[in-house]
Amino acid sequence: MQDKIIEYFILLTKIPHCSQEADRLLEFLETFAKERGYSVEIDETKNILIKKGKPKLALQAHYDMVCIGEITDIKTYIKNGWMCAKDSSLGADNGIAIAMMMVLMDRGEELEFLFTSDEEIGLVGASDLSFKLDSSYMLNLDSEDEAEVYIGCAGGADLIASKTFEKCEPLDYFYRVSVTDLAGGHSGIDIDKGIPNAIKILAHYLKDREVLISSFEGGKRRNSIPANAYATVSSKNRLESSDMVEVTALDKCYTVYQSREFLNLLNSFEDGIEHFNQELNIPDTSINLAIVSFKEGTAVIESSARAMSDEGLKAICQKNKNLAIANGFKMDEEFKYPAWKPKKNEFTEMVNSSMIKVFGRSEYKAIHAGLECGVISEKYPNIKFASIGPTIVSPHSTHEKIKLDSIGKIFEVVEKIINKIK
């Protein structure tokens, strides 16, 4: 069965489904389900509910992906038991779950299949869910470690700081300053791995040099650690390349702006873990400096805050709002979603025992990232939730890969859960 799942997954990589650009996959899933005798509902946020019979169990995944690199033509390959993509993100997050659900639809299983939209840009679809669900249990398939059952996750919010700067006279030299091709990674599950942030490195390089900014850009997604950052600057003194920073002299003159507070904010920003949760052995609160744009004198700085409690999220958001305001920026908050507090019940025990039967081991976990369970459980308090998934490394980056033998085993766990609930 693993081969069929992989076949479907490779098919999915050929259907564009970047966040906010996944209509073709929506149409594909609608047709696929109807051809197999399932009813299909699609709401205004483009969530998809597929069902047959009188289901007691819902399987849930999101159908958008983080698109990094050469995404127009994803080329998959196998290396040492892992599936990877050449020069792009793979989309195993969450495409492999979709492929598993397609196999179950082939069988005609009486289940609810819930596909949510735009998870990767702030749990957008999950936040607007209003379907009537029949199920008593929901199994989210968006976790990324085999032999682990996730029963809690971080809440989060996106912070957007903005400010307009005045033009000024340029200095003596012009340069293009770049930090490129860093590892990148997920701003939740990878935030404790010491992955360098390209925006922070570039801002630090410019901090102690007398420069004025013409343009600055870095990062691609709010939930990704930035791998690249670029600035065009005017400098009083000559600049030279350093260990991670490449400097190129420019002949052309550019419009520049008074930008001291812009660099002050970037360098004052405490990117990474703020507090660590010793009980759960994961970060408790963190923030990722995700996207920066400085164009024609207007600066926009986007960051992603996470916390394992609603109180912690409120505190870290307020701290960074105060920092932005102190530097003359306006700060807005978007896409706030609640933490999912860890809790065991008969469903989590069922999932855990099924995991043990397949892997010989299992462990309850919480994750420092936003699983849709947190948002959906608030809307459907009578449903019991758990989250599992095959092992995926470095999601949201060109290094994303999925462990092949994990795919079939996790599918076997799903089958055991289905059979227990029937």
Q: Encode pLDDT of 303-331 as tens digits.
A: 999 999 999 999 999 999 999 999 999 99
Q: Is the pLDDT of residue 84 over 90?
A: yes
Q: What is the pLDDT of residue 335?
A: 85
Question: Residue 121: pLDDT band by 50, 70, 90 thresholds?
Answer: confident
Q: What is the pLDDT of residue 223?
A: 86
Tell me phi and psi for residue 333, to 5 degrees.
-120, 135
Q: What is the pLDDT of residue 369?
A: 87
Q: What is the pLDDT of residue 72?
A: 86
Q: Is the pLDDT of residue 341 over 90?
A: no
Question: Residue 410: pLDDT band by 50, 70, 90 thresholds?
Answer: very high
Token pair for 264? 């002050």
Q: Is the pLDDT of residue 9 over 90?
A: yes
Report how far residue 307's alpha carbon sits from residue 329's, in angstroms, rounded to the nearest whole number: 24
Angle, vertex CA 31, rays to CA 26 and CA 34, nearest 5: 125
Q: What is the pLDDT of residue 73?
A: 86
Q: With pLDDT > 90 as the criterion, what percentage of the chain qualifies? A: 90
Q: What is the pLDDT of residue 117?
A: 98
Report how far residue 169's alpha carbon sits from residue 257's, in angstroms, rounded to the nearest whole number: 8
Q: What is the pLDDT of residue 89?
A: 96
Q: Is the pLDDT of residue 360 over 90?
A: yes
Mean pLDDT of 254-266: 96
Q: What is the pLDDT of residue 422?
A: 85
pLDDT tens figures, 179-235: 999 999 889 989 999 999 999 999 999 998 999 999 999 999 888 999 999 999 999
Alpha helices (H) along 327-363: 346-359
Q: What's the mean per-residue pLDDT of the chain?
A: 96
Token pair for 243? 């260990």
Mean pLDDT of 40-51: 99
Tell me phi and psi for residue 319, to 5 degrees.
-60, -45
Report how far residue 376's alpha carbon sits from residue 387's, in angstroms, rounded to the nearest whole number: 12
Q: Helices 92-107 and 404-421, interaxial angle, to 10°? A: 50
CATH number of this structure's domain 2-153+339-421, picked from the four choices 3.40.630.10, 3.40.462.20, 3.40.50.10490, 3.10.450.50: 3.40.630.10
Q: What is the pLDDT of residue 226?
A: 97
Domain ranges of the chain: 2-153+339-421, 157-337
Mean pLDDT of 79-84: 97
If one compares 208 and 56, the residue with the highest pLDDT of the two is 56
Question: For residues 225 and 186, is the Cβ–Cβ distance under 8 A?
Answer: yes
Question: For residues 138 and 114, is the Cβ–Cβ distance under 8 A?
Answer: yes
Q: Helix or strand or coil: residue 184?
A: coil
Mean pLDDT of 340-361: 96
Q: What is the pLDDT of residue 7?
A: 98
Tell me the β-bridge partners of 138.
58, 385
Q: Which residues contact 265 (CB under 8 A, 6 or more apart)?
A: 161, 301, 323, 324, 327, 329
Q: Is the pLDDT of residue 88 over 90?
A: yes
Q: Helix or strand or coil: residue 147?
A: coil
